[in-house]
A and B are shown apart, each in its own frame.
Chain A
Amino acid sequence: MKTFAELNFPGRLVAVEGLDGSGKSTQIYLLKRWLELQGLKVYFSEWNSSELVKSATTKGKKRELLTPTTFSLIHATDFADRYERHLVPLLRAGYLVLCDRYIFTAFARDVVRGCPPEWVRGLYDFAALPDLTFFFKADLEVSLQRILEGRPQLKYFEAGMDLRLSTDLYESFRIFQGRMLEQYLAMSTEFDFLVMDANQCIENQQAVVRQLVSQRLDLDKFHRVERPPQRPVTKKAPKRVKVEEPVE
């Protein structure tokens, strides 16, 4: 597997990974704002898929129809949809693409669910690797606390209830997150994760993130091109306003 840079894409992809409650979304949001304010071409990939794939995923989750295999496949479908329709074209167009979670989430989650690691990795080998991957490593108790305090309504699959780790939703969530963390840490060296101390305060973490991004990426290349005005402003045709025909 190669990174987008190694594949000669003009764009670069930065991913953040970490447990729920590790603060990764906050950090990538602040990174996005910083890059935008510099006038760079930035796209934040929201983990929303096409309505179609989403409808199947929602149905599967609501009715608890998913097994580890179909859970893995439907999320891979979802990812492929985003990858082929959004990420690749934007990276071809020279964007800085920021992803809140990438393939490593699937690598960790599906393996915890019992899918063989080689199979899961094989599924995703159509995707290139991020140019930078930040891993937000918080103590398990810290991230558990953040989640369990803020949003006590845990969902079935999110808590790993399908794994029958415990009949208690919260206990199941704890065990599941603990196993996720083990998987992440095991991948850390192999995929060159930039490991962040997520127990630190937001500002300190963001300072490190910004420093690493500016060191590792040539940000000057991502400036929006100022285009000369295409037509004299005076000759601009009046805007057409669509008027609904009144129904008699």
Chain B
Amino acid sequence: MRQALQNQIVVPRRTERRFYGHGIPRVPSEELAGRLIVVEGADGSGRSTQIAMLVQWLEGCGHATVQVGLKRSTLVSEELETAQEGNILSRTTLSLFYATDFADQLENIILPALKAGFIVLADRYIYTLMARDMVRGMDEAWLKNLYGIALVPDAVFYMNVAPEELVQRNFAKNAALDYWESGMDLGLSRDMFDSFMKYQDDMQKTFRRLQATYGFTIVDGMRSAEATHAELQKKIGAVLAGK
């Protein structure tokens, strides 16, 4: 925490921002002074722990932060939750529902916060949404168009943890596997454990494919939280300095 002890607060350098596609109507991207940092990874990959540590560190350095994540919009989060409980929506519908949730947060939280110069920490972003849909057989070009509204983040970290380890961490935390995180809707296996392993393996493969397009940083999530945090600190420090 050397930076935090120095009394000098670093002002993030401005960079040219852009959207993956056309973006949001009437949002000039040069007005967005803040930074968008994304942490991706499966449940149990250490995402939330890392985000909590980043908030501590960034605030210590004098930066204001805002957090966003999936299924947290005012507009549709409750309805999405209910839809998932009953598993009643088909895949295109669910996909668009999630996109609505994302767009609502993008326009009402992410963009205003960036305009005000905040550092936005996203606990998962469009990549998880795309990977989930791709594993379910949806068209990649369709998804790319859909998420053309999304802002290109300043940094994306993907927490890579082997499915065997994810299982252990999920059991240590909840003593149960989540229906959706096990991909049970796909009918890969009636056995939840088998399904979880297969699904997470598919998700990792898909993430690696997406990595080739979107170029995010793959972080080894098998190490201690502190070791991972040190790496993220270094990389985010470089982003803030405009390197």
Interface of A with B (CB < 8 Å)?
Answer: 50, 52-53, 55-56, 59-60, 65-70, 73-74, 76-77, 80-81, 83-85, 113-116, 118-119, 122-123, 125-126
Q: Given A70-B100, A122-B146, A125-B142, are A55 and B79 neighbors across the interface (CB < 8 Å)? A: yes
**Which residue on A lies nearest to B91, using beta carbons?**
A84
Listed by A's residue number, 14 A-B pairs whose Cβ atoms lie within 8 Å are A50-B88, A50-B89, A56-B97, A65-B74, A65-B104, A67-B24, A67-B107, A73-B100, A81-B90, A83-B92, A84-B93, A113-B25, A122-B145, A126-B92
Q: Chain A residues with Cβ under 8 A from B79's Cβ?
A: 52-53, 55-56
Q: Chain A residues with Cβ under 8 A from B22's Cβ?
A: 116, 118-119
Q: Chain B residues with Cβ under 8 A from A83's Cβ?
A: 92
The secondary structure that dominates the B interface is helix
B52 at the A interface (CB under 8 A): no
> Is A74 in contact with B89, judged by CB distance below 8 angstroms?
no
**Chain B: interface residue total (CB-CB under 8 A):** 31
Q: Given A67-B107, A69-B25, are A53 and B146 neighbors across the interface (CB < 8 Å)? A: no
> Is B100 in contact with A74, judged by CB distance below 8 angstroms?
yes
> Is A126 in contact with B145, judged by CB distance below 8 angstroms?
no
**Which residue on A lies nearest to B92, using beta carbons?**
A80
B21 at the A interface (CB under 8 A): yes
> Is B92 in contact with A70, judged by CB distance below 8 angstroms?
no
> Is B148 in contact with A119, judged by CB distance below 8 angstroms?
yes
> Is A69 in contact with B103, judged by CB distance below 8 angstroms?
yes
User: In the assembly, what is the distance between CA of A119 and CA of B20, in Å?
Assistant: 12
Write the B74-112 contact mask toward A (1 if CB under 8 angstroms, else 0). 111001001100001111110111011001100100000
**Which residue on A lies nearest to B86, using beta carbons?**
A52
Write the B121-158 contact mask toward A (1 if CB under 8 angstroms, else 0). 00000000000000000010010011011000000000
Determine how close the nearest CB of chain B comes to the CB of A142; give it in whole angstroms.
Answer: 31
B173 at the A interface (CB under 8 A): no
Q: Among B89, B91, B92, B142, point to the contact of A52 (Cβ < 8 A).
A: B89
> Is B97 in contact with A77, judged by CB distance below 8 angstroms?
yes
> Is B93 in contact with A53, judged by CB distance below 8 angstroms?
yes
Determine how close the nearest CB of chain B comes to the CB of A65; give it in whole angstroms.
Answer: 6
Determine how close the nearest CB of chain B comes to the CB of A118; give it in whole angstroms.
Answer: 8
> Is A119 in contact with B89, judged by CB distance below 8 angstroms?
no
